[in-house]
A and B are shown apart, each in its own frame.
Chain A
């Protein structure tokens, strides 16, 4: 069954039949068909229902500008709405359904909207749904929600994956019609690195749709030969099914390549690839898009663009009708009559609105000059047209040509504005093009074939010359220029019935007049008020007629009226493509510590610390509550020994003759005199004097230091150090490199920590208290000669060390440490226990370093040396930051020990009202202390250092608590630091 409207010829492959369904009915097409051409071949005229009025609609165009033939494609999770049948390549088993109707396509219940068209004109929703107010949420909104929108989602996760990539070339040629192909040939033959991209699955542009001759052969044949030559060039990359959707800064273009949309099955390949193309130069050869004319009921199935009719009969071997009328205001429309005649299709009439054209070239065809189509008849599909002269002509297809509009969108993406050409009745690219871009062919307003080839050739050769490459002698294939005269006609005077301008959003000429009447003057307002140009076709066939009609209504010229702003993307792009690779685990990388696998097997619960996964606690069998686990870990560490993976803290290796001087610059306190083999705690300020990080730095050699930073700030500190090194102190000989990942580092803390380590550290390295006191560091060996570094530092406040080995031994090391600690009752501890212990000791972390914290507030004012400069020193001494009454970091404990403190509570005097004026500070960190048996907190309170013993309230408006707390020292456990020095 070849289809009732199949005709011979075309670029389809009749040896490859393909079965597909539309609304459940089985049809047949061929390889090379689009869904639209196959439906036309099968005589299917009714394809969908319009957005607002639910009018019957059919195929209008043969390209991405299609406003009517939008279908739901595929089933299940792959179902996608608003798919243009005109650009959907046919494949075996394709399943498409019409959209936007309740009930069948033929008998859509919602067509009743058309009867209420008077009340549904532009902007009607600004004037309705207001009364009664209570109806809005319960009645109006649900109704609007149900009827709004076009197409339906499957509501299932997208089963496809997408990917992204980056391409580079000397010139990106956008569009592979005659101009683009010739530009690619000229540039490619000169050895230029070319990318040629076309949205179609077959390169050639209009050459594939027209009966024309190039170099003595058919246009499509020449195009195929050109593609073959380009394919043989190693410096040319051809990309079909690829839309260049946007121009961005710095010669960057966005392109979407559709890899599997033409196949039944993606077979594991990415469905689409989003490309970022770096091109120093580009040639925009995107051709032009035809437009219609506004006349009565010009939206019926069977009314099509004249150039599209030619595409169907010439390229796809399918005729949209058996008795076709042509309505045109320009010479190009006549080519449709000529081609229909060549295919033996009956021409009902040719109606040319102009009065100054040559005599009828088809004597046997009825021709009318100086007349126009006033209205059409045939609700389910065109039956008859009526002219302004009153003649009734029966026809089942009306091919309309209102002229061609250059596709200049990309020339305006960086803010350029097009210029008006009266002779074309269209805009062409202006002078301010994106840097490096040339325009060739119909996109530049060079509307005829020979000129397209010439201009494309000139563009390609100009690019080659720009790049200093020998351009081959001009070798433009022979072709002729077809006639291209036009007299503008935007709407038919004497039209009867509504005249459509934007078919997809159902915007008519009445809406445009209405918007003018209501006072909208800017074309941008016209667009938003009427929604003209705002549908998925982005107004490709309607923008120019719309603004032309607005110009007429306001009495201005078209150039005075101007265009709306062109923005990327040129066609809709799936969000999945923009987010390629970012689904699920792909969203961000994960950093794992050397002990991760061991911790995971041990049942640890993990938390995210920046990009790292850190063990938060290690539940033991029977422990159902995190606090139980964390308390146990903290108590075991304080009473015996605990082990924590601290690899995540930044480690920066610093070397150089002036390394010590550099540290003096970046730290508030002095480091120049730190002896080799010692560690010192340091504070870092921003330029404005605010504390931004703290850590310890160890001196391993005369010119060798290792600095630690907090986990979260590792990258930031490194960045700031590099800035200081390169820009602030470029005269210093100092060099940095991160060693965070390279060393697996474990805290070993608790009274038994030394005993444990003595089983790990090789004999010959004395780590007794005398030989290796608090804040000592050194290189040594462990486990029979493995190199290691040992630091005697403590975050927990217990006798503690950090032991580091090259990360390759990290997994092995945690197992050895745990095994060595068994006799002591060792427990691994995670970030929760770590947090409990540091709060008990009053150590600040990010919760205290808020970006407004000064050293003074931390009680560390004396750490900012006045004997040397450092980054932030000067501004840290600003009067506001040193005035009396500053907040001070203090400890807080509830008067009623059973109460649980909350972080974020604010301190207010007893009996005072909880208002901002009475705010004395806030709680920064809290924990239930297993060592003390009650809740404790850290926080900032004005003049805290002078108020020890005073009772205030911790008021929490969010959690509705108001707890009396006593101000105490922030060092709850072992305030004298005796355990540290044991």
Chain B
């Protein structure tokens, strides 16, 4: 029996809030980055398929596994980010073994705070946060973009008709949450003005 035990916390402590017609909630994933070795794109894509039923995403896009628990986001010309639900902190070791050297895997789980934004007004909220064109036709489901939200770097992806994931650095998670919340509150307050 170890003398001390460590308990885990998430950057946003499971925060969740419904504001008007949107919901914002922390989402937890195990996350790894996968870098493409020079000249090794095809080999990696094949390995991703064998291991996870995925393939390398195109620039600005993402690929989901059949059961939906894995989401592979393009993040750079030779890099992508794999979001995995229902996995453990050792997911990087699991992925590394499964890919058998075809890609360089680095643990990223605790580097990111992830906010799920959903609801009918989610695009109105995003308008206030990012200069990326998040119009329903211009940013279809599966799109990925790296941008700035206020002063924070963010990875943005659309996971459903009215749902998005926003990833930002874990250390500034509270500022990140406040920015998103603030935008959602503005949208809700303005809507109440016109309908009320």
Contact = CB atoms under 8 A, between A and B. Distances in A.
Interface in A641-666: 647, 653, 655-657
A820 interface: yes
A166 B108 contact: no
Contact of B176 (A166, A589, A612, A805): A589
A813 B135 CA distance: 44
6 closest cross-chain pairs (CB), A and B? A784-B2, A589-B175, A735-B35, A269-B189, A742-B111, A807-B110
B171 interface: yes
Interface in A262-292: 263, 267-270, 273, 276, 278
A738 B8 contact: no
A738 B107 CA distance: 10
Contact of B193 (A259, A741, A760): A259
Interface string A50-62: 0000000000000
B170 A742 contact: yes
A425 B104 CA distance: 71
B171 A593 contact: yes
Nearest to A736: B35
Contact of B6 (A193, A592, A740, A813): A813
A581 B185 CA distance: 13
A865 B107 CA distance: 33
A783 B192 CA distance: 52
B152 to A, nearest CB: 5
B141 to A, nearest CB: 18
Nearest to B7: A812
Given A269-B186, A762-B2, A816-B4, A589 B151 contact: yes
Contact of B108 (A163, A165, A739): A739
Given A165-B127, A813-B6, 16 more contacts: A164-B128, A166-B131, A267-B196, A270-B186, A581-B182, A586-B150, A653-B106, A655-B104, A657-B37, A733-B37, A733-B38, A735-B79, A759-B4, A760-B4, A786-B6, A806-B110
Contacts of B2: 762, 783-784
17 contacts: A163-B186, A164-B128, A278-B131, A581-B182, A589-B152, A590-B172, A592-B171, A737-B79, A737-B106, A737-B108, A741-B170, A742-B170, A787-B90, A806-B110, A808-B10, A816-B4, A816-B6
Given A759-B3, A784-B2, A808-B10, A742 B152 contact: no
A394 interface: no
A657 B8 CA distance: 34
A741 B171 contact: yes
A721 to B, nearest CB: 14
Given A589-B150, A657-B37, A737-B35, A742 B108 contact: yes
B192 to A, nearest CB: 7
Interface in A316-334: none
Given A168-B133, A807-B170, A787 B89 contact: yes
B78 interface: yes
B116 interface: no
Contacts of A759: 3-4
A846 interface: no
Interface in B108-132: 108-112, 127-128, 130-132
Nearest to B173: A592
Interface in A884-915: none
B5 to A, nearest CB: 6
B111 to A, nearest CB: 4
A253 interface: no
Residue among A193, A737, A784 facing the most chain B CB atoms (10 A cut-off): A737
Contacts of A588: 151
Given A166-B127, A168-B133, A269-B192, A738 B6 contact: no
A434 to B, nearest CB: 19
A819 interface: yes
Contacts of A268: 185, 189
A64 B129 CA distance: 30
Contact of B189 (A270, A276, A657, A809): A270
A408 to B, nearest CB: 28
A79 interface: no
A737 B133 contact: no
A41 interface: no
B178 interface: yes
Interface string A574-588: 000000010001101
Contacts, number: 159
Contact of A655 (B3, B106, B174, B186): B106
B133 to A, nearest CB: 4
Residue among A588, A592, A735 facing the most chain B CB atoms (10 A cut-off): A735
A589 B182 CA distance: 14
Interface in A690-704: 703
A667 interface: no
For chain B, which range describes its interface: under 10, 10 to 19, 20 to 34, or 35 or more residues? 35 or more
Interface of A: 163-168, 193, 259-260, 263, 267-270, 273, 276, 278, 581, 585-586, 588-593, 611-612, 647, 653, 655-657, 703, 732-733, 735, 737-743, 759-760, 762, 782-784, 786-787, 805-813, 816, 819-820
Nearest to A788: B6
Contacts of B143: none
A973 to B, nearest CB: 32
A784 B152 CA distance: 36
B59 interface: no
Interface in B1-53: 1-11, 33, 35, 37-38
A740 B128 contact: no
Interface string B57-75: 0000000000000000000
Contacts of B110: 741-743, 806-808
Contacts of B183: 163
A590 B1 CA distance: 38
B167 to A, nearest CB: 12
Nearest to B189: A269
A581 B193 contact: no
Contact of A590 (B128, B133, B175): B175
Contacts of B171: 591-593, 612, 647, 740-741
A166 B33 CA distance: 30
A267 B109 contact: no
Residue among A163, A703, A783, A810 facing the most chain B CB atoms (10 A cut-off): A163
B91 to A, nearest CB: 11
A166 B149 CA distance: 11
B13 to A, nearest CB: 10
Contacts of B109: 742, 806, 808
B35 A591 contact: no
Contacts of B190: 259, 269-270
Given A589-B151, A590-B172, A739-B111, A783 B193 contact: no
Contacts of A733: 37-38
Contacts of A269: 186, 189-190, 192-193
Contacts of B135: 168, 193
A976 to B, nearest CB: 35
Given A165-B127, A787-B90, A739 B151 contact: no
A267 B193 contact: yes
Contacts of A738: 111
B189 A591 contact: no
A611 B6 contact: no
B172 A812 contact: no
B35 A656 contact: yes
Contacts of A592: 171-172, 174
A951 to B, nearest CB: 47
Contacts of A806: 89, 107, 109-110
Contacts of A593: 171
Contacts of A656: 35, 37, 104
Interface in B158-196: 169-172, 174-176, 178-179, 182-183, 185-186, 189-190, 192-193, 196
Nearest to A612: B171
B150 A735 contact: no
A813 B7 CA distance: 9
